[in-house]
Amino acid sequence: MREDSLTDSRQRQQLIVKHINKTSISCTSMVVTVFGDVVSQHGGWIWLGSLINALGPFGFNERLVRTAVYRLLKNDWLKVNKVGRRSYYCFTETAKGHYDKAARRIYTSEQPDWDGSWILVAPLFIAEEKKEVFRKSLIWQGFNTLVSGMFAHPSSDRTSLDEIIYEQDLIGDVAVLSAKTEDFHSQAAIKKLVKNRWNLSELEVFYNEFLNFYRPLCQQVAAKRPNASDSFLLRALLIHDYRRILLRDPDLPEAMLPHGWVGHEAYDLVKRVYKVLVNCSMDYIQQGLENAQGALPKANSLFFTRFGGLD
């Protein structure tokens, strides 16, 4: 590697470590991102030693990675297969289900048109010990309390909601209704409520911080594509930061958002940068990461449908 490329790489990695420390990204959450964005698409399994090497440049040492993996193993996010002295890890079905819900939002091609429908959820007979888990699951899917005891989201797609009800064994304990606003004035009143109840002003701050960090990087990678290992690091960090914001984003349709919503710019940036980094990052993934059979296999066909299609 040329000296100027080495200098660029060092500076880039220093920037990444500084950003991780500043934003308090945990090793555990980064492990989840790497499994979801990368490992799940390349055979599902990875050798622990490869994971340790991959996360090293982020500033996570071997002890931190082992601790994170152990924690995820105990929390039913990872399962292990030991072959000789080596340990290989994979998402559990529970973790895969959680991440698949996230992936539908992270890698979407475009937001579908909204027909004006709202999904209303009334948790009528949920046992006390299950209520908080159900509430958090709804919040992650963008629901909020429209009025006391009634959760709502402007959408007609029940896929993720039905999965939550089934997974948490709440069939017959929850009433799901659909509704539409009757007139323009009602829609304006609901839009005003959404702005406050869904806390869009705070979300806008998070998106602007995201854009302020990634705009310069976007320009850099467009002008000069990073090497394979740096492409992997930037891709993982980009998706990790975007996923953290989406945990707060209620995924509202255009009609319920302020004019010129900053989240659209963030999505466009993520899509453009990801498409620039993806091929080079796969060189690192397929040459530098291992499972029990050797190098990780090529990505599955579903991977190439991300963001409306990858080259």
Domain-wise residue ranges, the chain: 1-111+199-311, 117-180
- 117-180 adopts what CATH topology? Alpha-Beta Plaits (3.30.70)
Give the pLDDT confidence score for residue 5 in this predicted structure: 62
- Would you state the structure tokens that stand for residue 254, as one six-digit string? 């255009």
Q: How many CB atoms lie within 10 A of CB 214?
A: 21
* Cα–Cα distance measured from residue 154 to residue 172, given in angstroms and rounded to the nearest whole number: 23
Strands 86-91 and 150-153: unpaired
User: Do 1-111+199-311 and 117-180 share a fold?
Assistant: no
> What does the alpha-carbon distance between residue 293 and residue 45 come to, in Å, rounded to a whole number?
10
Is the domain defined by 1-111+199-311 classed in CATH 1.10.357.10?
A: no
Instruction: State residue 4's pLDDT score.
Output: 59
Question: Which sign, positive or negative, has the C-alpha torsion 52, 245, 222, 278?
Answer: positive
pLDDT for residue 210 = 98
Render pLDDT for 117-166 as a digit per residue (tens, 0 to 9).
Answer: 899 999 999 999 999 999 999 988 889 987 788 999 988 888 889 999 99
* Strands 117-122 and 78-83, bridge-based pairing: unpaired
Predicted structure pTM score: 0.89
Q: Are 225 and 231 in contact (CB under 8 A)?
A: yes
d(CA 163, CA 39): 23
How far apart CA 286 and CA 294 sit, in angstroms, is 10
Cα–Cα distance for residue pair 218/178, rounded to 1 Å = 41
- Chain-centre distance of CA 170, in angstroms? 26
Q: Which residues contact 108 (CB under 8 A, 6 or more apart)?
A: 307
Query: CA 237, CA 194: separation in Å to the nearest integer?
Result: 30
User: For the CA atoms of the chain, what is the radius of gyration?
Assistant: 21
Low-confidence residues of the chain, pLDDT below 50?
none
